[in-house]
Structure 1
């Protein structure tokens, strides 16, 4: 079931996901009709985990957000068989733009993973990235909320089993655990205070199952108010870097390769959620992602 969250102007907002297994949304709610209706604004919606190839077209047009869960509450259980490792966060200040980001992409890509979730006849994919040396992987809660078997596919195509440590459905964050001996190096987090409008950024992940995809853009807005989870509206980074279904949970990085956001939502022009990227994507700000990951791990 999908529900719509409001934009700040009270009209249309985010879609509601069912994890990797999606169902078509019901008709949109009825809003008061003005004497001369204005064109419908873009509808922010989750960049959902990708369906199997046989249902790819259907999946690509559906919104993805979250259902249920108290705001800020984490679900799932910490296994207790590993110590929490500190998350690296930069103090280098704002990252000046660079014309060539190929070196940045090459440094970051090994730490970005694809996530496959299988539950019964349902199969979906999303993205994630390694955040510490204990083998913890950060992703979106809506990527893994259907439950079932979770497999992490590393950049070198190795497949490793993963356990869900916990998920904060209000912030749309989840942490997986993989064998630390098989884990790539973790990414470094930036700081929200150092992010500026116009900063060049890269979005990395597995849109439509295409692992290792890198797209570029800039930070379009710092505090765009949208509903990214089950709680109240929150601020998010807006970017024009192309984000599509399957990018969910992947990192948005700056010109130094530091994580400044977690890709989680896109906007479309249609109320039915059809189409891919139109240059309006949303990412969970880095400070909130760091706090949420640490709460889940602890």
Structure 2
């Protein structure tokens, strides 16, 4: 696929261990995102590889059957002493249901030659994405799971939190996603939903690896982020990280790389409360 770019672009994310003394969580009015990359930096740009494929789809499946001659399972007995405790907190393990809930509200974002992801948050057609996805773009549109392309206006941007809000004229066929109440738990299953490398409607599974992980956004300040091992790649920026109920717990925004490589199992998401607060402020002041 020669149409894919090779160098992700976007604000830099730097490991706090490599940059001691950088201030943490300044006011949201921090300056525009920027930054440069070097080996073992955590870099964003998840959404900004341009995809020139005009149309198409990738599909795949796995199937497995138990052999007809397999012996019947042994009679049930007491669980072994090493059995894991039953999950608590009411979070189901049905990620298939979570994907079915989330996918109708997730869109691919087209911003000039760049692309990313976003998700609908209300019946008025407001869409949350990353600021670095649409920064500098004059022609923005979104494509939903129905394949319909909708023009979108940029309601406003908050470079300090890397959140932007778009609005489409008609949200028909797009299902707003619900925000989770409170923070996720370490070890909780999550899905990253979006359009990595332009492959719309992609879902990848993982867990919450850590909370309050301090990483530096391109504005040059550290902010607490959710760390996850759900596979996040260029094009996922702005898409939701959802729990097993399909509720948004974060906005995917960055990955860790080694020497400019791809996903290595360490990704970061803006916590939902910060993303929601930034979005509400943008909407109230700009539309």
TM tier relative to shorter chain: 0.7 to 0.9
Following TM superposition, by how much is the alpha carbon of 1:260 offset from its aligned partner in structure 2, in angstroms?
Answer: 0.2
- TM-score, L = length of structure 2: 0.74
Partner of 2:18: 10
Q: Secondary structure at the match of 1:180?
A: coil
User: In the alignment, which of 277, 283, 286 is matched to residue 263 of structure 2?
Assistant: 277
TM-score normalised by the chain length of structure 1? 0.71
Tell me the residue number matched to 1:190.
180
Q: Could you tell me which residue of structure 2 aligns to residue 52 of structure 1?
A: 51
**Superposed displacement of residue 266, structure 1:** 0.2
C-alpha root-mean-square deviation of aligned residues, in Å? 2.7
Mapped to 2, the partners of 1:3 and 1:161 lie a distance apart of 25
Whether 1:243 aligns to 2:209 is: no
**Distance in 2 separating the partners of 1:283 and 1:167:** 17
Does structure 2 conserve the Cα–Cα contact (< 8 Å) formed by 1:135 and 1:183? Answer: no
Does residue 203 (structure 1) correspond to residue 211 (structure 2)? The answer is no
- How far apart are residue 7 of structure 1 and its match? 2.5
Judge conservation of contact 2:121–2:127 (CA < 8 Å) in 1: yes
Residue 170 (str. 1) matches residue 168 (str. 2): no
SS in 1 for 2:102: helix
Q: CA deviation at 1:43?
A: 2.1
Deviation at 1:185, TM superposition (A): 1.8
1:124 corresponding residue in structure 2: 114
2:95 maps to 1:101? yes
**How far apart are the structure 2 equivalents of 1:174 and 1:135?**
14
Deviations, residues 115-165 of structure 1 (Å, cap 9, x unaligned): 1112xxxx1110000011110000000000022110110111001100000
Q: Which has the larger radius of gyration?
A: 2
Q: How much does 1:8 deviate?
A: 2.0
How many residues in Structure 1 have an aligned counterpart in Structure 2? 231
What's the CA shift for 1:232?
A: 1.8
Q: Secondary structure at the match of 1:182?
A: coil
Q: Distance in 1 between matches of 2:12 and 2:206?
A: 27
SS of 1:50 mapped into structure 2: coil
Write the distance in 2 (CA, Å) between the matches of 1:249 and 1:3.
13
- 1:285 and 1:95, CA in 2 relative to 1: closer, same or farther beyond 3 A? farther
Is 1:267 matched up with 2:256? yes
Give distance in 2, aligned partners of 1:2 and 1:175.
Answer: 17
Q: CA deviation at 1:6?
A: 4.3
Q: What is the DSSP-based 3-state SS (H/G/I as helix, E as strand, rest coil) of the residue aligned with 2:276?
A: helix
Change (3 A) 1:137 1:94: farther
* Structure-to-structure mapping, 1:66-77, within 5 angstroms: none
| CA distance, structure 2, for counterparts of residue 107 and residue 26 of structure 1 | 37
1:232 pairs with 215, 221, 236, which one? Answer: 221
Distance 1:230 1:213, change over 3 A: same
Does the 8 A contact of 1:97 with 1:199 survive in 2? no
Q: Deviations over 1:59-97 (max 9, x none)?
A: xxxxxxxxxxxxxxxxxxxxxxxxxxxxxxxxxx95524
